[in-house]
Structure 1
Amino acid sequence: MKRTINKVAVIGSGIMGSGIACHFANIGVEVLLLDIVPRELNEKEQKKGLTLEDKEVRNRIVNDSLQNSLKSKPSPIYHKDFANRITTGNLEDDIAKVSEADWIIEVVVERLDIKKQVFEKLEKHRKPGTLITSNTSGIPIKFMNEGRSEDFQKHFCGTHFFNPPRYLRLFEIIPGPDTSGEVLDFLNDYGKKFLGKKSVIAKDTPAFIGNRVGIFSIMSLFHMVKDMDMTIEEVDKLTGPVIGRQKSATFRTVDVVGLDTLVHVANGLYENVPEDEAHDLFALPDFIQTMMDNKWLGSKTGQGFYKKEKKEDGSSEIKSLDLDKMEFRDRKSAKFSVLEQTKTIDKLSDRYKVLIKDEGKAGKFYRKNFSALFAYASNRIPEITDELYKIDDAMQAGFGWEHGPFQVWDALGVEKGIEMMKAEGYEPAAWVSEMVDAGITSFYSVKEGNTYYYEIPKKEHVKVPGQDSYIILDNIRESKAVFQNSGVVVEDLGDGILNLEFRSKMNSIGGDVLDGINKAIDLAEKEYRGLVVSNDGKNFSVGANIGMIFMMAVEQEYDELNMAIKYFQDTMMRMRYSSIPTVSAPHNMALGGGCELSLHADKVVAHAETYIGLVEFGVGVIPGGGGSKEMTLRASDTYQKDDVELNRLRENFLTIGMAKVSTSAYEAYDTNILQKGKDIVVVNRDNQLTIAKKHALLMAENGYTKPIMRKDIKVLGKQALGAFYVGTDQMNAGKYISDHDKKIANKLAYVMAGGDLSEASYVSEQYLLDLEREAFLSLCGERKTLERLQHMLQKGKPLRN
């Protein structure tokens, strides 16, 4: 049957319930969010003379919860207007409305008795065939649907979102004993295609897949930290980005999530997996129990493993918990010589081998940590899943690991991993030894652009399902590369479309990347049909190589700097004025030059989680790669008869002057960085490149014609210049901006006004580019700009001077 989801009912408006409601609103679904009715008036309601029968009171819990969620940082919603897609109500007055829903999601407190009561009420109003799922993080699905009708049980299962639902991609689907295959297939597909998730069908075992392995990993570290006499700073240093984990690493992550949340799952595992070989690790160490007793739960209580304290001068400092004394102390720096050795190793999979060979404390830690993880993950098959790739998917999507356990093990070498494990007192699962004895020495392999995994029952590598619908750059880079230099790789995606992939440090745009862009366009114009710019880096691009700019400016090599900026501008213009269609596919951070490249593409296919903006003010300059020109042009294109043109130009001026960065791709429409009707947003990151390729191909097949350079850009001259100068004077006088901020803003004003022309005029793009480059160069001669550039290079954050 064809099933569509137009309306979802979410039952329970706590942190998870509101977050799930917001994410469905993100993708355009109408949401009904319900919660219980308060049993007594609060002080505010009493003062207003309200009664328990007033709707404002009856919906207080759900409304307060949703508003608190919408105010939280980071935001659970792509755009503030999307919250209008959510309607609130309560479980007494509005429960009948669930009959209009295509999918009912229960997100109430983790108590089986309460959940069963909720399901009994819902079944009275749910229409047959409606999906009904629970977001439980551990209660067995088989217990929840007891006593329910056949239709209910057929359409019921677990759908476990990870918190926060917008940002964490794992979507575990846990079938009940009677869940139909059609329901599972639909939810698996819907999670990927519409929710942008990594859908994983799990078995109905305690904590499912992600939390079972993830909580083991954290609890193992909790026990190890005392055994190895390590500080929390040392553990966080070793378990962060250096091994492809979140910057918040271990203890800071627990502070953010909440120690009580972790302990709840750990206690559940301790009670429910008595036969687990690592059962004792789920018991709380003494220091964790002390923290629970003291209510040191992390960010929610103001202190956990870390604590922010105010100093006498009003500034703040971070204190760390001494696990021996159970007192907060000054933070200690954690340094390990092996980490210095790995700084030059960009490829994460090559880093692991160096880390485990270290003879110091770090190496010992990694050998113990990886050995325990490998043994535990291998022993969970077939208990929690039959397929090893699902464990890796769950850890990547639910815990933000760049590589899951079996991928790390592969990087070290399976046999090397077994040798290391045995030295640490661990044994792999029997199926791993059987695999190696059969001559198969890796869990994964790549053939013809597809990833294969070792399927245990078949004792051979089989294709990971679901790949046919998307392109994996890691799998085609070597076989499909048509050009590469130190900054880029250009791959043939098939059907006449090339992909340009940045491979520079942080995907910054320097001379080698600009050369690569020009070469890719040359190749596409001669032999292909279109070009996509996409990559699999953590960020699309952090912008221009400011180190190069800083060195040229310090050495006062202004001719060379002028040539470099002109080359950047000319390259961006080639993105716009080539004879083939160009598509930019940004994700995560697309800043400065990365934003300018997208501004000049024929089309942008942005991932929903794209944080894009022109941030050059932070380093003391204006956008110099065509960004200032382009925002002037876009303002001009919006002018209409009898319009207040200056207001439209001012919006784009402020976008640059305030260094606005969108918190989602949808917000980028508000700043005119993305254009409605031209650029699109996709929610599924895995599908982004495939969709971008389709749009490049569609433009090519529709008879793409090389655009003509613009000479009809309306600039407002002195009218705009005077208004902008007055504005910067007022901001400076009010101490909102510094003298140097004012100087930068006035330079930008001069460019976007088209100079001090006596009246509104029409100019060319090249005219504006020349003004932009001149302003950029003049700012590079300013001492305060050099200070900002240097500070960004050294500290990684902007300086206000």
Structure 2
Amino acid sequence: MGNQHTSKPVRRVAVIGAGVMGAGIAAQAANAGADVLLLDIPPRDVAPDAPAAERNAIAAGAVERMLKAGAAGAFMDTTVAERVQVGNTEDDLYRLKEADWIVEVVVERLDVKQDLYRRIEAVRAPDAIVSSNTSTIPLATLMEGMPQSLREHFVVTHFFNPPRYMRLLELVSSEDARPEVAERVRSFIDHGMGKTVIHCNDRPGFIANRLGVYWMQVALQEAIAMGLSVEDADAVMQVCGFPKTGIFGLWDLVGIDLMPEVTASLARLLEEDDPFQAYVGAVPVIEHMLARGWYGRKGRVLQGFYRQFTDSDGRKQREVLDLVALEHRAPGPVTLQSAGLKSGQISELLASDDQGGLYAWRVLSRVLDYATRLMPDVADAIDAIDAAMRLGYNWRFGPFELLDRIGVSAFAARVQDEGRSLSTFVRNASGQPCYKNAEQLDWQGQYRPISRDAGIIDWQSIVARPAIHAFERSVLRELDQDIWCLEFSHKVNALSSVLLDEIETALAEAIAADKGLVLYSASGIFAAGADLKEFVAMTTQDGAIDRYIRRGQQLFMAIRQAPVPVVAAVAGKALGGGLELMFHCHALQVHAESQLGLVENSVGIVPGWGGCRELLARSAERFGGSEAIQHTFTLISEASVTASALQARQRGLLRDSDGISMNRDRLLSDALALCRQLRDAPEYRQPTLSALQHYVPAKPLAVEGYQAVLEQRLLDLLNLASEPGWFDRFADHERRCNLALLQYPESVQRMQALLETGRPLRN
């Protein structure tokens, strides 16, 4: 075999298996910028000499289905599909010689996989990586009888479904594999595909499925044994911090038919004395459901523990399974008082003397005990197990974090009071917390540093340090000696007068201290535009709206003209004024899954803090002056929100120079590096925009009611961009346009409707 270069990046990926998982992995690799080859078997009824289009129908069909799902599906933008080529495993296996990484995503049968590996080995490039997406079969079993050359380049890369949105990737290597092999694929999956890569030991089910399937079995069987209703059990599990689906809803989501197969597969691979074996027996309720074809949320009949259907009047209805009568019925109320606690109130829940408190203990005591017994068998550190469960099963807290919320001493005492033995981990812990400061407990009872990959900032350690300035709605923090961070600290981060004041103060302090400034939010919303409740109140105050609009315009221009670099680190939603704030920063670093849009039209106004002007500028750069006005009008009038940062770039909301972080964990570090780069480059002090002229005016749409008025006003505003020198005067035009629109009662009605119902009103 040729020499392997650790620096060689993964640029070409081949995926074999075009089912839901394989196609999703192929799409995410394409989202990452790789050229992708997607292969599957030819359809059974297609002759060997049939045209390629017929032979490749399975893989081509998978791509077509993903395209139909749009940018919210597997592809972050439909243009990404251009990077995916299709083929079949009989005619096109030779094309694997071009791949840097070959991913096997075929049926969970050892004979099928090993036959495929032998065929891959005959054609792959000497340094090509081969991996399996297996969820249950150990790597050592997969490599039995395989040549040494393949062993040296083989790892397990276990994705979770859907591959675009689930952040966990379990990576398993072996002593045979060259060290650089795991590092090359890990780097691409981390930086390119945006996954949190957890290194696992080569054990059945690895981490997440080993513990997650056990939890699903325990929670279901204990609820049935205690005679709880589906509603009560699901509510209690939500209090524990488990997914909003609850346990029965999750069974439906995974598949009632699939769960027994996965459980049995794991049980066959585990030792006879493993606690997992106590919950692998047949469950009469499940057998009853399988006999009737109640498989959960799959197929045409959405019927499992919950039944979803459309009634004769076209209304969507939902029923729930009575676990005694085994018939579906109308949903009932949650009857347990403890089930009404808030998510995360673990101590209060376990202290409750009702059935909910007892059920929670019966589940948590077994699941957490099992998690501690998996150390160090499945992973070398408890934070790896916690991260796997948070990211792979959407637990709010990992098992060791849950243990700390209960208290290790309290947990151990209650387990012993019931006559059960303690795991080695709990015994060695001696009542100490699992996490203390920046350290974690190992299975021998010693504290070890929590290791982090290079380029990932520990936000919690930043938060733990004294703040430079703690405001009401934001906090000014130090990222390093030259760069500060203004964290928007509320859930929605509406740009109220209070928050605008805080941004202005933070900017002034950063300028005075000669520090770069990063704007950031750790929540799912970067900034959601103007505070609508405050805005509506201002409409009754003489001159208040005029002052508010001017205030935002002046502040945003102050950001643009600041003598220190200002960078927006954006994750989640940036809507309306939040996007306008981004537009005025010197540079942008945006998480790939962010949703961006100028949505003011949905509340009866137009963007007033420079959004129209800035989107016109970006549209002109991307599409040319002849199309910029029409493109800008379409995005604003439709209150369009992008499904990803890649789509935002295609639509002109982001420039090619704006940074996109695929991995959410790396966003802040990437923004910090960008801010430091601007600080070191004197040209950042004079950010420029292209001069805009010679526009072709847009045409009005045939609509009725207030929407017609709104769109005509927007068109009149945007068409001013075809006049010489428009750019410098445009802020005043935006302000006047909004003041005129607010004279119509329908504009305020739209705002009030959104506040009351959460849904925009278009009339």
Same-fold status (TM-score > 0.5): yes
Q: How many residues align?
A: 754
Instruction: Show the counterpart of 1:455.
Output: 442
**How far, CA to CA, are the matches of 2:414 and 2:608 in structure 1?**
52
Contact 1:322–1:328 under 8 Å retained in 2: yes
Match status 1:271 vs 2:250: no
Instruction: Show the counterpart of 1:538.
Output: 524
**How far, CA to CA, are the matches of 2:30 and 2:716 in structure 1?**
42
Instruction: Show the counterpart of 2:666.
Output: 687
Match status 1:652 vs 2:635: no
Contact 1:307–1:328 under 8 Å retained in 2: yes
Contact 1:291–1:297 under 8 Å retained in 2: yes
**How far, CA to CA, are the matches of 1:596 and 1:461 in structure 2?**
46
Q: Measured at CA, do residues 783 and 363 of structure 1 come closer, stay the same or move farther in structure 2, by a change above 3 Å?
A: farther
**How far, CA to CA, are the matches of 1:711 and 1:207 in structure 2?**
55
**How far, CA to CA, are the matches of 1:109 and 1:560 in structure 2?**
65
**Of the candidates 444, 447, 451, which is equivalent to residue 435 of structure 2?**
444
Contact 1:715–1:753 under 8 Å retained in 2: no
Range that drifts further, 556-565 or 511-520: 556-565
Instruction: Show the counterpart of 1:771.
Output: 733
Letter in structure 1 aligned against 2:429: M
Instruction: Show the counterpart of 2:212.
Output: 214
Q: Measured at CA, do residues 352 and 779 of structure 1 come closer, stay the same or move farther in structure 2, by a change above 3 Å?
A: farther
Contact 2:619–2:628 under 8 Å retained in 1: yes
Range that drifts further, 389-398 or 791-800: 791-800
**How far, CA to CA, are the matches of 1:463 and 1:329 in structure 2?**
52
**How far, CA to CA, are the matches of 2:100 and 2:618 in structure 1?**
41
- Measured after TM superposition, the shift of residue 779 of structure 1 is 4.6
**Of the candidates 729, 742, 750, which is equivalent to residue 708 of structure 2?**
742
Letter in structure 1 aligned against 2:434: F
**How far, CA to CA, are the matches of 1:799 and 1:425 in structure 2?**
61
**How far, CA to CA, are the matches of 1:452 and 1:275 in structure 2?**
32
Instruction: Show the counterpart of 2:23.
Output: 18
Range that drifts further, 202-211 or 51-60: 51-60
Query: SS of the counterpart of 1:289?
Result: helix
Query: SS of the counterpart of 1:319?
Result: strand
Contact 1:371–1:424 under 8 Å retained in 2: no
**How far, CA to CA, are the matches of 2:91 and 2:243 in structure 1?**
43
**Of the candidates 575, 579, 582, which is equivalent to residue 591 of structure 1?**
575
Match status 1:232 vs 2:233: no
Instruction: Show the counterpart of 1:501.
Output: 487
Instruction: Show the counterpart of 1:287.
Output: 285
Match status 1:260 vs 2:257: yes
Letter in structure 2 aligned against 1:57: E
**How far, CA to CA, are the matches of 2:337 and 2:606 in structure 1?**
40
Letter in structure 1 aligned against 2:326: M
Contact 1:549–1:561 under 8 Å retained in 2: yes
Query: SS of the counterpart of 1:753?
Result: helix
Range that drifts further, 702-711 or 2-11: 702-711
**How far, CA to CA, are the matches of 1:490 and 1:539 in structure 2?**
18
- Measured after TM superposition, the shift of residue 526 of structure 1 is 0.7
Contact 1:158–1:176 under 8 Å retained in 2: no
**How far, CA to CA, are the matches of 2:142 and 2:82 in structure 1?**
32
Q: Measured at CA, do residues 563 and 287 of structure 1 come closer, stay the same or move farther in structure 2, by a change above 3 Å?
A: farther
- Measured after TM superposition, the shift of residue 708 of structure 1 is 7.9
**How far, CA to CA, are the matches of 1:625 and 1:233 in structure 2?**
47
Instruction: Show the counterpart of 1:696.
Output: 675
**Of the candidates 731, 751, 758, which is equivalent to residue 796 of structure 1?**
758
Range that drifts further, 329-338 or 297-306: 329-338
Instruction: Show the counterpart of 1:376.
Output: 370
Query: Can you list the C-alpha shifts for 1:671-701, whole angstroms capped at 9, x where unaligned?
Result: 221112x212111211111111111111111
**How far, CA to CA, are the matches of 1:711 and 1:688 in structure 2?**
28
Query: Can you list the C-alpha shifts for 1:114-147, whole angstroms capped at 9, x where unaligned?
Result: 1111112222222333211111110122222122
Q: How much is the aligned-residue C-alpha RMSD, in angstroms?
A: 3.0
Q: Measured at CA, do residues 229 and 179 of structure 1 come closer, stay the same or move farther in structure 2, by a change above 3 Å?
A: same
Contact 1:371–1:426 under 8 Å retained in 2: no
Contact 2:9–2:184 under 8 Å retained in 1: no
**How far, CA to CA, are the matches of 2:712 and 2:22 in structure 1?**
47
**How far, CA to CA, are the matches of 2:740 and 2:323 in structure 1?**
54
Query: SS of the counterpart of 1:300?
Result: coil
Contact 2:33–2:192 under 8 Å retained in 1: no
Range that drifts further, 628-637 or 5-14: 628-637
Query: SS of the counterpart of 1:508?
Result: coil
**How far, CA to CA, are the matches of 1:442 and 1:37 in structure 2?**
55
Letter in structure 1 aligned against 2:591: H
Range that drifts further, 686-695 or 280-289: 280-289
Q: Measured at CA, do residues 793 and 40 of structure 1 come closer, stay the same or move farther in structure 2, by a change above 3 Å?
A: same
Letter in structure 1 aligned against 2:726: V
- Measured after TM superposition, the shift of residue 365 of structure 1 is 4.3
Instruction: Show the counterpart of 1:522.
Output: 508
Contact 2:560–2:687 under 8 Å retained in 1: no
Q: Give structure 2 stretches of 5+ with no counterpart.
A: none
Query: Can you list the C-alpha shifts for 1:760-788, whole angstroms capped at 9, x where unaligned?
Result: 242355x4333333444555565544444
**How far, CA to CA, are the matches of 2:228 and 2:497 in structure 1?**
44
Query: Can you list the C-alpha shifts for 1:276-295, whole angstroms capped at 9, x where unaligned?
Result: 22422233532222222322
Letter in structure 1 aligned against 2:407: G
Instruction: Show the counterpart of 1:44.
Output: none
**How far, CA to CA, are the matches of 1:264 and 1:89 in structure 2?**
30
**How far, CA to CA, are the matches of 2:174 and 2:395 in structure 1?**
29
**How far, CA to CA, are the matches of 1:152 and 1:600 in structure 2?**
52
TM-score with structure 1 length normalisation?
0.87
Instruction: Show the counterpart of 2:321.
Output: 321
**How far, CA to CA, are the matches of 1:795 and 1:140 in structure 2?**
51
Instruction: Show the counterpart of 2:14.
Output: 9
**How far, CA to CA, are the matches of 1:538 and 1:482 in structure 2?**
24
- Measured after TM superposition, the shift of residue 713 of structure 1 is 5.8
**How far, CA to CA, are the matches of 2:612 and 2:233 in structure 1?**
45
Letter in structure 2 aligned against 1:695: L
Query: Can you list the C-alpha shifts for 1:501-551, whole angstroms capped at 9, x where unaligned?
Result: 111133333233222211221111011331111222133233332232244
**How far, CA to CA, are the matches of 1:799 and 1:195 in structure 2?**
38
Contact 2:368–2:403 under 8 Å retained in 1: yes
Instruction: Show the counterpart of 2:395.
Output: 401
TM-score with structure 2 length normalisation?
0.91
